[in-house]
Amino acid sequence: MQSALPSQSALAHSAKSFEESVPGKAVIVIAASLFVAACAHVSLPLPFTPVPITLQTFAVFIVGMLLGPTAGFAAMMAYLAEGAAGLPVFSPHGPGGFAQLLGPTGGFLFSYPLAAAVAGWVVRGTRFVSSRFVLAVTAGVLASVVVFSLGAGWLVLYAHKSASLAWQLGVVPFLLGDTIKIMAGASIFSSLQRWARR
């Protein structure tokens, strides 16, 4: 007697079809933006810089690598739009809303769509690296360069700081933490890729 329950392959096909539909893509993009928002609330202020330590960049790396450059960019734009509209998605150590986008951490926030796109482009478009872990580390490093460049550059313009002081306030305190985030994100991404291929 044939089972009336759908087969595993049929369920997988249905899930894949939903992911590729317009509503499915919208759900994924919104869910990714909310993941970044949750990570933004894991936040630790530092007394010597206006930039807090958060898990936001970790989330941006993961979102970009998993969703790819287009959907990753869209998810981060949705995140910024949610914050600008006043939703509590940004780090709590700031004024919130549109004011936070124009505050000292604005450069970091505006870097997220581009950083996610870079991370997604590297893991989707690079073929000469066979190791998924190495590829993900490379994606994280390049995305981190984007984040630090725009974040520190914004501090130079916003706070009228010298480039060396912006480096000390917006980059140096976060290098170790971002290294850990990149390694953790690469481990998660490569593990998920191996699991998906089974």
Query: Which residue has 């550059």 as its token pair?
Result: 153
Q: Is the pTM of this model over 0.95?
A: no
- Supply the DSSP string of 144-188, one letter for each residue: HHHHHHHHHHHHHHHS---HHHHHHHHTGGGHHHHHHHHHHHHHH
**Per-domain boundaries in the chain:** 8-196
State the pLDDT at residue 1. 45
In angstroms, rounded to a whole number, what is the distance separating the alpha carbons of residues 145 and 130?
23
Mean pLDDT for back-to-back runs of 10 residues, the chain (198 residues): 51 58 88 97 94 96 96 97 96 93 95 98 82 94 97 89 91 96 96 80
Residues 55 and 181: beta-carbon distance below 8 Å: yes
Q: Taking the CA atoms of the chain, what radius of gyration do you get in angstroms?
A: 18
State the pLDDT at residue 11. 46
Over the stretch 147-180, which tens digit does the pLDDT of each residue have? 999 999 999 988 788 999 999 999 999 999 999 9
In angstroms, rounded to a whole number, what is the distance separating the alpha carbons of residues 161 and 85?
29
State the pLDDT at residue 130. 75
State the pLDDT at residue 193. 85
State the pLDDT at residue 114. 98
State the pLDDT at residue 9. 56
Matching CATH number, 8-196, of 3.90.1300.10, 1.10.1760.20, 1.10.760.10, 3.30.70.20: 1.10.1760.20
Residue 68 corresponds to which tokens in the numbers above? 């790819």
